[in-house]
Amino acid sequence: MSVADVPPTEASREALAQLLLGIADDEFVIGFWDSEWTGIAPMLEEDVATSSISQDEIGHARALYELLAELTGDDADAIAFGREPDAYRHAALMNHPRTDWAFTIARRYLYEIADAVRLEALARSSYAPLAQLAAKMRREERYHLMHLDTWLRRLAADDNGTERLAAALRGLWTDALAIFAPIADEALLVQRGELPEPMAALRARWLEQVTPVMAELGLPGPTPEDLSAGIDDGRTRRTDDFRWLHGEFTMVAASERGATW
Amino acid sequence: MDDQERADAFYAHVSGGGKVEADDWMPDDYRAAVLKFVEMHANSELMGVLPEREWILRAPTLKRKLALTSKVQDEVGHAQLLYRVAEDLGKPREQMLADLMAGKTKFHNVFHYPTRSWGDVGIIAWLVDAAAIVSQQALRDSSYAPYARTMKKICWEESVHIMHGRDVVLTLMNGSPRQREMVQEALDRWWGPLMQMHGPPTDPATDRDLIWKIKAKGNEQLRQEFLSIYVPRIWELGLTIPDAALRHDDGEGRWQYTEPDWAELRSVVTGHGPMSQERLEFRRTSHAATQWVRDAVLGASSAAA
């Protein structure tokens, strides 16, 4: 059964909107945090590369917010900048600041693999605009993943780098697993083919990919406690760090409400 | 041919419009002068990142966020290209970064000032970049060919920045009274540094950078070109330029203006500007915080910094 056969209902439209919002917020927030490296990355060559990746994420966020805006009759900028912190739906992984370079690499590596798994599935979505966008995003994300894989391995080849990566990863697994937190009415999306597989299936595929790499590089993988931790609030938990970021990215708009910038 | 004859022939070559490549023989004076010029330019691109970088997290729309991040990224890319040109003249990049952070070498005056509002983001991208591009376009004719070639690429990107800056300013000027005030207030603060930016007039008979055609135009000529293009455009938007003496003297064919504060310029570029030490300290702190990364991936070769 494809979506063409069954017209969207209010419930299915709402579920699709939640799916899009979560992914868009993931890209938006990680893009904001990592864009902070622009101008101060470890090397000039890497500065340019990391800034490109952040810009790609913001570009993806924009495309996803636009898709969402078509669905809800809203405006992409209003969705991106016009909400209170508690209304953002990014995974808890994106609640943290860029921290040090090891944290940035570790977080982004976990995210890039998750994003690749997610996009591979979404490229098969019965919702054609999403399938097309996912296919386009995959082309750019493939390069991100190669870049991050190289960095992870370079840092892990150094004792100090390994130690710093381990420190970053140890506390990060439950927040990373939150990328695959179930969304409301997920079964409806799966039934309609808009989300071709349940989040639990994507989560399992992600773990199959990241866990062996951690073992290979001597880095801490998810503990049994991480894997059994509840993640229902994985996309609603917010931190003071994110509230600070939110204060930054809404500062200019807040200085003159309703203005065009 | 002895060294003096060789040098004389070299200087006759460059003064006559001839070009020099990195592996050509060149007198030490010329090499040192080009290095100093390019190094300061590279430093300026790198330090110029910081005032605008403060607004990367604050960009108010998705479009502005992308344009500003991309602009700052371009500046980093320019620094990288220019340090490479300078490196080929014999000074390692890490040494140039170390000298910059130690305050031993300079960067342009405009990057020693604070940014206070979104209006600054527009004024910097529009007018600071415009003043810079006037100089940089002239550098496409530099006698030092690797520098001239690099400037061609940089000028193209700078022209995109100016369009972004002008669009930010135009949007604000078409907005609310407070948004218009934001631009005017920014212009009031930036005008002085902008007028100082090209430096005091020099004597063409003794300015070696000019005689050796490292740069193709004198400071005053660049300032006049900047004023000719941008004063009408600034006025057209309904902005007031904070200099009552500013006017075009049709008889003399040049702009008259209040003498820029050259003492301020000297003080600022020697590290006494309002943000000089803070920006250098930020650069030092950021560099120190990522030293372990360079050590991890480059090994001992990064130890110099």
User: Tell me, what CATH number does A237's domain have?
Assistant: 1.20.1260.10
Task: Give the residue on B whose Cα is nearest the Cα of A105.
Answer: B293
* Token output for A220: 């801490």
A260 domain-assigned: no
CB–CB contact A260 B174 (8 Å): yes
Alpha carbon distance A202, A196 (integer Å): 10
> Which residues numbered 147-186 in A keep a CB inside 8 Å of some CB on B?
154-155, 157-158, 160-161, 164
Of B138, B296, B162, the C-alpha closest to B217 is: B138
The tens digit of pLDDT for each residue in B5-60 reads 999 999 999 999 999 999 999 999 999 999 999 999 999 999 999 999 999 999 99
Burial (CB count within 10 angstroms: exposed 0-12, middle 13-18, buried 19+), residue B65? buried
pLDDT of residue B3: 85
A4 domain-assigned: no
pLDDT of residue B240: 98
A3 domain-assigned: no
The tens digit of pLDDT for each residue in A31-86 reads 999 999 999 999 999 999 999 999 999 999 999 999 999 999 999 999 999 999 99
Q: Is the pLDDT of residue A5 over 80?
A: no
Tell me how close the Cα of B47 comes to any Cα of chain A, in angstroms: 9
pLDDT of residue A234: 95
Phi (first) and psi of residue B247, to 5 degrees: -165, 155
Instruction: Give residue B252's Cα distance to chain centre.
Output: 29
Q: Is the pLDDT of residue A3 over 80?
A: no
* Token output for B295: 């050590």
Based on DSSP, count helices (H) and strands (E) in chain B, helices before strands: 13, 2
Superfamily of domain B3-302: Ferritin, core subunit, four-helix bundle (1.20.1260.10)
- How do B247-249 and B254-256 pair as beta strands? antiparallel
Task: Give the residue on B whose Cα is nearest the Cα of A34.
Answer: B57
Instruction: Give residue B21's Cα distance to chain centre.
Output: 23
| Cβ neighbours of A155 in B, within 8 Å | 293, 296-297
Q: Extract the runs of DSSP E, i.e. beta strands, from B127-268.
A: 247-249, 254-256
pLDDT of residue A2: 53
pLDDT of residue B305: 43
Q: Is residue A80 a contact partner of residue B91, using CB atoms and an 8 Å limit?
A: no
* Over residues A116-133, mean pLDDT: 97
Tell me how close the Cα of A9 comes to any Cα of chain B, in angstroms: 30
Alpha carbon distance B137, A165 (integer Å): 45
What is the domain count for chain A? 1
A43 touches chain B (CB under 8 A): yes
A254 touches chain B (CB under 8 A): no
A1 domain-assigned: no
Alpha carbon distance A215, B222 (integer Å): 61
Q: Is residue B151 a contact partner of residue B139, using CB atoms and an 8 Å limit?
A: yes
Q: Which domain holds residue A161?
A: 10-254
Q: Is residue A236 a contact partner of residue A89, using CB atoms and an 8 Å limit?
A: yes
* Three-class DSSP category at B213: coil
Alpha carbon distance B164, A220 (integer Å): 45
State which residues of chain B have pLDDT below 70: 300-305
What CA dihedral angle connects A143, A148, A150 and A156, to 10 degrees?
Answer: -170
CA distances from B192 to A185, B197, B240, B254 (A): 60, 9, 13, 19
A236 touches chain B (CB under 8 A): no
pLDDT of residue B102: 97
CB–CB contact B293 A42 (8 Å): yes
Alpha carbon distance B202, B180 (integer Å): 37
pLDDT of residue A253: 87
ipTM of the complex: 0.94
* Over residues A174-193, mean pLDDT: 95
